[in-house]
Amino acid sequence: MILLFAILGFAAAYAGTALGQFFATPVGDNSSEGAEQQLEPVIHKSKYNVLLMGTDASGNLTDVIMIYQIDPKNNKVTVLSVPRDTEITYNGRREKINAVHSYGQQKVDSGGSKRGDEYAIKEIREFTGIPIHHYVCINFAAFRQIIDALDGFDFDVPQDMNYDDDWQDLHIHLKKGFQHLDGDKAEQLVRFRSYPDGDIQRVKVQQEALRALIEQKANIVNVTKVPEIFNIILDNINTDMTGAEALGMAYNILYANGNEDMLTTEVVPGTFWNDAQGISYWRPDTKGLEKLVEDKFGYVDGLPVANETDETKNEE
């Protein structure tokens, strides 16, 4: 999504009103009302946080959970990855954090809620202590299609990857080494889990892939790809961001693009352990997480640190 917004931002800057129709409606809204209007981006002045969730084929379990903090004042983007196996207590029982989104979807299906994402958002906000200003939930079908629309990217695969799961229709067969990844191979890369360090190494590979994408594709100005990518997003996304807010986020990222420290990636600290049934969890180091959130994201108990300005506090 970070890559997508950067591409849209470049397209808007180069194409101007010619692309107004692709930004005039809220993201996630296929209606054409107002399509001829020129969209004015919403530009944030203070830092804000966007929760990105990537779901599996069923659209229920969140295979990827990342919080992006956009800091326009300092031209920085900081990312916190939450391992999908992170142990939490939910409704009085031990759970993995990636299952909470599924419980929300069950509430929707039973008529008990209008939006399933709100359960995952609430849990991730309380777990990390980071306020969530916007969220984006996207499935892997869109991921594959976007990578293909961008003609793939080059990446050094860290090890041979072989895994087959007929139930998920997931088949991973990648050779170690530098190679070009299309959408199918890129999905295999980010979903592979059988590392010596388990989910933590998986998160690191995802972050390295994100860096490679940004380095190789963020400067694309071929606006003919924008309609294709945007339509992919419309078909596979759930978000509370309007097109204007998404475009504003793109500009924030573009301003940060020249900064060598633009992208900082962090992982929830902790250790692996197995329960009595042999189920593996990532047990978070809560004190370490609190310090990380304070030092890297500027929050204590969900509130901005004391040296934030009143203007920033009010905006956040």
Write out pLDDT tens, residues 44-80.
Answer: 888 999 998 888 766 677 878 999 898 888 888 888 9
Asked if the model's pLDDT at residue 34 lies above 50, the reply is no
pLDDT of residue 99: 86
- In this prediction, residue 316 carries a pLDDT of 42
Contacts 24+ apart (CB under 8 A), 229-234: 229/4, 229/7, 229/8, 229/146, 229/149, 229/150, 230/8, 230/22, 232/142, 232/145, 232/146, 232/149, 233/4, 233/27, 233/138, 233/142, 233/146, 234/27, 234/28, 234/29, 234/30
List of domains in the chain = 2-296 (3.40.630.190)
Cα–Cα distance between 233 and 214 in angstroms, integer?
18
Residue 245 clears pLDDT 60, i.e. is over it:
yes
CA gap 222, 219 in Å, rounded = 9
* 28 backbone φψ class: left, alpha, beta (φ>0; ψ -120 to 50): left
Q: How far apart are CA 247 and CA 181, in angstroms?
A: 27
Q: What percent of the chain has pLDDT over 90?
A: 27
Residue 132, pLDDT above cutoff 50: yes
Q: Are strands 270-274 and 280-284 parallel, antiparallel or unpaired?
A: antiparallel
Partnered with residue 270 across adjacent β-strands are 284
Instruction: State how far the alpha carbon of 232 is from the alpha carbons of 174, 235, 240, in Å.
Output: 26, 5, 17
How does residue 14 score in pLDDT terms, banded at 50, 70 and 90?
Answer: very low
Other Cβ atoms closer than 10 A to 261: 11
309 versus 81: which is more confidently predicted? 81
Q: What is the pLDDT of residue 20?
A: 46
Please give the mean pLDDT across all residues of the chain: 77
Question: Tokens 């990532």 correspond to what residue?
Answer: 282
Is a pLDDT exceeding 50 seen at residue 32? no
Q: What confidence tier does 270 reach under pLDDT thresholds 50, 70, 90?
A: very high
What pLDDT score was predicted for residue 146?
84
Backbone angles phi, psi at 271, to 5 degrees: -145, 155
Give the pLDDT mean for 78-101. Answer: 89
pLDDT at 312: 41
DSSP secondary structure code for residue 308 in this structure? S
Residue 262: partners with Cβ closer than 8 Å, 6 or more residues away: 75, 76, 77, 256
Q: What angle do helix axes 140-149 and 183-191 make, rounded to 10 degrees?
A: 140
